Amino acid sequence: MTWQRAPVATALAAMFTAATADQVPPVSCFERPPETLNAPALVCTDPATVGKRTAGMGVDQTEFVVTDVCALELSDDLDALLDVADRAILADPTLGGVVLTSVVTEYRNWRPLQIGGAPFRAADLAIRIDL
């Protein structure tokens, strides 16, 4: 298989929506970066890298990034939401059959973030995906 962002992002957003269904406050899960959002949110962004034919002929490998955004006053919940997303991927590393396998490789890049003039905290979830 070759890299295609849309099916991966759709599968991840659906998995994250199911995994966070009981969270308070509710978590928004996006297939692509929105113009604005209500936190907390998990946002499928873009791959950091796409390696062609890395695990064999016709098998691409990507490092896909999902950004976790929390309100500034809930920044202690940032790591907990990363953990929820990590566990969702561990439970189904094929992302519902969309990829061969996937695994979270790291949490990284904690930072302050401004969206529409409002202060937030964000961190990234790096996912290695074999297609």
Fold designation for 5-130: Alpha-Beta Plaits (3.30.70)
**101 has pLDDT over 80:** yes
Provide the Cα torsion 47, 21, 36, 94; round to 10°: 10
Cis, bond preceding 40 (omega within 30 deg of 0) = yes
* Average pLDDT of the chain to the nearest whole number: 93
Q: What is the pLDDT of residue 55?
A: 65
Say what the pTM is: 0.94
Give alpha helix (H) positions in the chain. Answer: 5-19, 78-91
Looking at the chain, the whole-number percentage of residues with pLDDT higher than 70 is: 98
More confident call, 14 vs 60: 14
Three-state SS for 54?
A: coil
Residues 25, 85: contact at Cβ < 8 Å? no
- Choose between 12 and 60: higher pLDDT: 12
